[in-house]
Amino acid sequence: MNVSDIMTERPASVRLHSTLREVLDLMEQLSCHHVPVLSSENHLIGIISDRDCRLAMNSPYIMRERWQDQELVNHLYARMIMSPAPVVIAPEATAEDAARLMLSRHISCLPVMRDETLVGIITVSDIMMAFIAMSERITRT
């Protein structure tokens, strides 16, 4: 089984100048936990996880009232909270290679790149769902 068999194709993405509000709205709308960040030339330059968003909102270094959260989500930008230069994988790689890479790097998703083009995203959930489907097929036979 290859990454291309279980990845989410053409994932939604944001730009460097997207606000935290836009990122959060997109994650909620799509029920996803990771959003790639693309440059104006459509090159992958980062990734934002739901954890990155939570850390940005709940920074222990910023003392503020809850009403100030609205200001924060409108004035924090993707470039400020993203993880730059994410680890990537090719669509031809095996799902096992993706799982090993995620485990060794302690990450829960990989942007899938063909040359310099983002073609998908694969997450731990994708791998677990594939494992369950494979296990069910084996059980039925």
Kindly list the domain boundaries of the chain, sorted by start residue. Answer: 3-140
> Which DSSP helix (H) or strand (E) runs through 127?
helix 124-140
Counts of helices then strands in the chain (DSSP H, E): 7, 7
Q: What is the mean pLDDT of each run of 10 residues along the chain (141 residues)?
A: 95 95 94 96 95 80 56 86 96 96 97 95 95 88 72
Q: What pTM value is reported for the model? A: 0.85
Pick the CATH number of 3-140 from 3.40.50.20, 3.40.640.10, 1.10.630.10, 3.10.580.10: 3.10.580.10
